[in-house]
């Protein structure tokens, strides 16, 4: 029985990896991407990459929130993939939002990568995991994958083994996702979503 469950889990993971994306961002100057909103900074979109350097005046104006790429793409269960290359960043944030606010988030900073859930009706988020050694290498591309199925998120970060975090609120319908950062500059590429 356990072997059968393991085999089914492996097949489901392989199927998810083989699935065609329902969304990709080519990051070319000519491509119109209505799902994308590049905000809180002067983003340059060209040659397959989105680039931005934080403007300190805008950071203050937006109440200590740095540049962000928003994608309006409704989903419930989906896998989100992207790659980032930081230079001087103090934090990098990936967030999934529902109709009534945040659903899932990870924040990578000096203490590693922390995972958060946002229970409905609660004013505070709760930590669902921490990977102290998960940090973005300076000036290098790091691939990230976040697979949400029901109340479970499986996150893959660079060459680290996948980590699973769980919370019932993760199962909520999502209306958008975002990649943001604070301080320094960030390059983003290979944004794709599969369902």
Q: How many whole angstroms separate alpha carbon 101 and alpha carbon 80?
A: 18
User: How many CB atoms are located within 10 Å of the residue 46 CB?
Assistant: 11
Matching CATH number, 22-194, of 3.40.50.10150, 3.40.640.10, 2.60.120.330, 2.60.120.200: 2.60.120.200
**Per-block average pLDDT, block size 10, for the chain (195 residues)?**
44 56 93 95 96 92 93 97 97 96 95 94 90 95 98 96 96 97 97 97
According to the model, what pLDDT value does residue 18 have?
A: 57
Beta-strand runs (E) in 25-100:
36-39, 44-46, 49-53, 68-75, 78-87, 91-98
Is 152:129 a contact under the CB 8 Å cutoff?
no
Domain boundaries of the chain, sorted by first residue: 22-194
Give the pLDDT score at 17. 52
Give the 3-state secondary structure of residue 7. helix
């Amino acid at each position: 029985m356990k072997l059968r469950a393991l085999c089914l889990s492996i097949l489901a993971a392989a199927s998810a990896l083989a699935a065609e994306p329902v969304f990709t961002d080519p990051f070319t100057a000519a491509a119109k991407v209505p799902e994308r909103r590049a905000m809180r900074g002067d983003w340059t979109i060209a040659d397959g990459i989105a680039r931005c350097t934080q403007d300190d005046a805008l950071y203050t104006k937006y109440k200590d929130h740095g540049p962000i790429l928003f994608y309006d793409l409704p989903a419930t269960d989906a896998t989100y993939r992207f790659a980032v290359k930081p230079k001087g960043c103090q934090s990098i944030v990936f967030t999934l939002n529902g109709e009534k606010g945040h659903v899932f988030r990870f924040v990578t900073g000096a203490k590693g990568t922390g995972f958060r859930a946002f229970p409905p009706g609660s004013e505070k988020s709760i930590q669902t995991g921490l990977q102290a050694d998960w940090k973005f290498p300076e000036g290098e591309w790091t691939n990230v994958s976040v697979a949400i199925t029901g109340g479970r998120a499986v996150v893959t970060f660079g060459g680290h083994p996948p980590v699973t975090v769980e919370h019932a609120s993760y199962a909520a319908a999502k209306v958008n996702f975002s990649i943001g950062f604070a301080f320094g500059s960030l390059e983003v590429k290979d944004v794709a979503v599969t369902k």
